[in-house]
């Protein structure tokens, strides 16, 4: 009997994930077959499962309109072992332990050709548009998306593919300035803590962490923040200005109107603001701020293959400490997703078949 493949799929939005059992596929062309050893359950999976993003003010962005079709096996944070390769899968090593780059583009357009597949307009991300990691096996369309993990723990490395590369790519947008200037990090949740660890690994000067939650501020302080500031204080911007002498580098991991307004109010001459969070809302900015300060505001969305490779190399070199994860059996995929939705999860949950 051929090997069987088990996966937990979204067959209907807002309904429990369903177990499907199939024969394990044989990789064709440049494809490789990865036996999953860890698949992260990400907060964005909840939106996929629900079928929409909440834009605030009662507005919703439907995922069906973005071309997402059911049934879908979610899971874009995938680590595993290459167990088979198609005839044209160059460089695929059977038995290699890898993390999979999930933010796939069409592979043919100018954006993909310059290496920014994550920004391709015809994206086919794993676990979003094509079947992902809530599964025993995954077909990866090209061997080049498999990054060797060396001796790293697969379950701990899996989140590098999403929260890891997202914060890494955002911090890289500040360039070498992070070595001399502190980064003001707005949001001390999972991404915030990841950004602090990353900043250290990148040789950054340090982080000034802003959050409205005192528990998260204490956590950030204990984790080595240069200072922490209550983002809900009436004089929060003044406090940031006093601490930094005008914040030059600001990373907004929340992405709400209130946090972006706070970032703008804390800016000095030449400030760069990078927005990653997707909380939502709208801001009004006086246009002269752009040339006069001058002010730069840019967004950052996940990261590209080169960045994930660089990040995994940092971890393999022992420069980036991986964050402990909460392991759960694959068969608890639905329960794990529901506890994340209900806010009952601390840290990252990784499904282990």
Alpha carbon distance 257, 251 (integer Å)? 14
Residue 106 or 265 with smaller CB distance to Zn ion: 106
Which residue among 78, 84, 112, 311 contacts Zn ion (CB under 5 A)?
A: 112
Which residue among 27, 38, 80, 105 contacts Zn ion (CB under 5 A)?
A: 105
Residue 112 or 183 with smaller CB distance to Zn ion: 112
Interface region with Zn ion, contact rule CB under 5 A, candidates 30-38, 84-92, 102-110, 334-342: 102-110
Binding mask 34-53 for Zn ion (x = CB under 5 A): --------x-x---------
CB of 85: closest distance to Zn ion in angstroms?
A: 23
Contacts of Zn ion in 218-257 (CB under 5 A): none
What's the DSSP call for residue 161? Answer: G
> Which of these, 25, 126, 135, 131, lies nearest to 84 by C-alpha position?
25
Interface region with Zn ion, contact rule CB under 5 A, candidates 14-22, 25-33, 100-108, 322-330: 100-108
CA atoms within 13 A on the CB side of 308: 34
Q: In this structure, what are the phi and psi dihedrals at residue 117, rounded to the nearest 5 degrees?
A: -60, -30
Regarding 263 and contact with Zn ion (CB under 5 A), the answer is: no
Residue 83 or 109 with smaller CB distance to Zn ion: 109
Regarding 162 and contact with Zn ion (CB under 5 A), the answer is: yes
Cis bond before residue 71 (omega within 30° of 0): yes
Name the residue with tokens 């999403």.
162
Residue 57 or 110 with smaller CB distance to Zn ion: 110
List, in sequence order, every residue forming a beta bridge with 40; answer none if it has no partner: 77, 350
> Which of these, 7, 134, 118, 125, lies nearest to 78 by C-alpha position?
134
Regarding 109 and contact with Zn ion (CB under 5 A), the answer is: yes
Q: In this structure, what are the phi and psi dihedrals at residue 25, rounded to the nearest 5 degrees?
A: -75, 155
Regarding 120 and contact with Zn ion (CB under 5 A), the answer is: yes
Interface region with Zn ion, contact rule CB under 5 A, candidates 90-98, 117-125, 172-180, 243-251: 117-125
Interface region with Zn ion, contact rule CB under 5 A, candidates 155-163, 222-230, 248-256, 343-351: 155-163
Which residue among 15, 55, 61, 106 contacts Zn ion (CB under 5 A)?
A: 106
What CA–CA distances, in Å, run from 257 to 55, 267, 269, 271?
A: 12, 16, 22, 18
Residue 112 or 250 with smaller CB distance to Zn ion: 112
CB of 17: closest distance to Zn ion in angstroms?
A: 17
Alpha carbon distance 108, 95 (integer Å)? 29
Regarding 261 and contact with Zn ion (CB under 5 A), the answer is: no
Residues comprising the chain, all counted? 353
Q: Three-state DSSP class for 268?
A: strand
Alpha carbon distance 143, 122 (integer Å)? 20
Regarding 164 and contact with Zn ion (CB under 5 A), the answer is: no
Residue 237 or 254 with smaller CB distance to Zn ion: 254
Residue-wise DSSP of 112-146: HHTT-GGG-TT---BTTTB--SSBSEEEES-GGGE
CB of 201: closest distance to Zn ion in angstroms?
A: 20
Residue 177 or 341 with smaller CB distance to Zn ion: 341
Question: Which residues make up the interface to Zn ion (CB under 5 A)?
Answer: 42, 44, 105-106, 109, 112, 120, 162
């Amino acid at each position: 009997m051929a090997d069987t493949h088990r996966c937990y799929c979204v067959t209907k939005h807002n309904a429990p994930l369903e177990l499907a059992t199939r024969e394990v596929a044989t990789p064709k062309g440049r494809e490789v077959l990865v036996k999953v050893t860890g698949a992260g359950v990400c907060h964005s999976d909840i939106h996929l499962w629900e079928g929409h993003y909440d834009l605030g003010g009662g507005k919703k962005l439907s995922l069906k309109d973005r071309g997402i079709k059911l049934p879908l096996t979610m899971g874009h944070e995938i680590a595993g072992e290459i167990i088979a390769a198609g005839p044209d899968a160059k460089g695929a090593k059977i038995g290699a332990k890898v993390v999979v780059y999930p933010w796939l583009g069409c592979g043919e357009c100018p954006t993909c050709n310059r290496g920014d597949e994550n920004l391709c307009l015809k994206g086919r991300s794993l676990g979003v548009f094509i079947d992902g990691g809530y599964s025993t096996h995954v077909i990866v369309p090209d061997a080049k998306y498999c990054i060797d993990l060396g001796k790293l723990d697969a379950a701990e490395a899996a989140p590098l593919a999403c929260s890891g590369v997202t914060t890494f790519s955002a911090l890289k947008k500040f360039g070498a300035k992070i070595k001399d200037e502190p980064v003001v990090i707005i949001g001390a949740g999972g991404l915030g803590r990841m950004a602090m660890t990353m900043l250290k690994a990148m040789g950054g000067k340090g982080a000034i962490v802003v959050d409205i939650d005192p528990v998260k501020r204490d956590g950030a302080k204990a984790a080595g923040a240069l200072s922490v500031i209550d983002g809900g204080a009436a004089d929060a911007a003044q406090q940031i200005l006093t601490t930094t002498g005008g914040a030059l580098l600001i990373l907004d991991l929340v992405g709400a109107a209130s946090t972006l307004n706070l970032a703008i109010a804390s800016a000095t001459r030449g400030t760069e603001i990078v927005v990653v969070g997707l909380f939502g809302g709208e801001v009004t900015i006086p246009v002269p701020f752009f040339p006069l300060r001058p002010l730069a505001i840019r967004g950052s969305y996940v990261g590209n293959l080169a960045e994930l490779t660089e990040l995994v190399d940092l971890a393999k070199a022992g420069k980036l400490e991986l964050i402990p994860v909460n392991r759960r059996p694959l068969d608890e995929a639905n329960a794990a997703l529901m506890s994340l939705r209900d806010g009952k999860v601390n840290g990252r949950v990784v499904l282990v078949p």
